[in-house]
Amino acid sequence: MVPITPSHKVDFAVAKDLATASSSHWSVTILRATLTKMAKSARVGRIYLDYLRNERGATAVAPYSPRARAGAHVSMPLAWKEIAPSGAFASKRPTFAVAAFTDWRARLKKDPWKALPTTKQSLNALA
């Protein structure tokens, strides 16, 4: 999630291209931990960078919400430093389940997305 202030100078296609390029860059930079391929078979043990949510009409799972799948895993926002090559999850894909809430509830106090509503940045330099 990257907060971008809407702008009349940068259209949706430019923002989408930036998301695609950024995801591709990260999947190469931290190759072992992330990928951009949608195929579930390719995602085993890795974090999927879903740049395809940057499409008009696309939906996404809200942070901290349980998935409607066996195990009720929770959509968890991660800080980039957690998945960087030296980060906590660099070699092991993290999972967070509703049943294990007591194990991960402390994460709610250090939410990496806490500043999103007040973050002001734009893509006007690209215009």
Spans of all domains in the chain: 12-126
Q: What is the pTM of this model?
A: 0.61
Q: Which of 67, 40, 35, 64 is nearest to 51 (CA)?
A: 35
C-beta neighbour count of 59 within 10 angstroms: 7
Higher-scoring residue by pLDDT: 101, 8: 101
* pLDDT tens digits, 43-93: 777 778 888 877 778 887 788 889 888 889 998 888 777 766 666 666 666
Q: Which CATH architecture has domain 12-126?
A: Alpha-Beta Complex (3.90)
> pLDDT per residue over 25-51, tens digit each?
888 887 777 888 888 888 777 778 888
Report d(CA 106, CA 40) in Å as an integer.
Answer: 29
Q: What is the DSSP string of 52-66?
A: GG-STT---PPTTPB
- What percent of the chain clears pLDDT 90, i.e. is strictly above it? 10
Write down the pLDDT at residue 90: 61
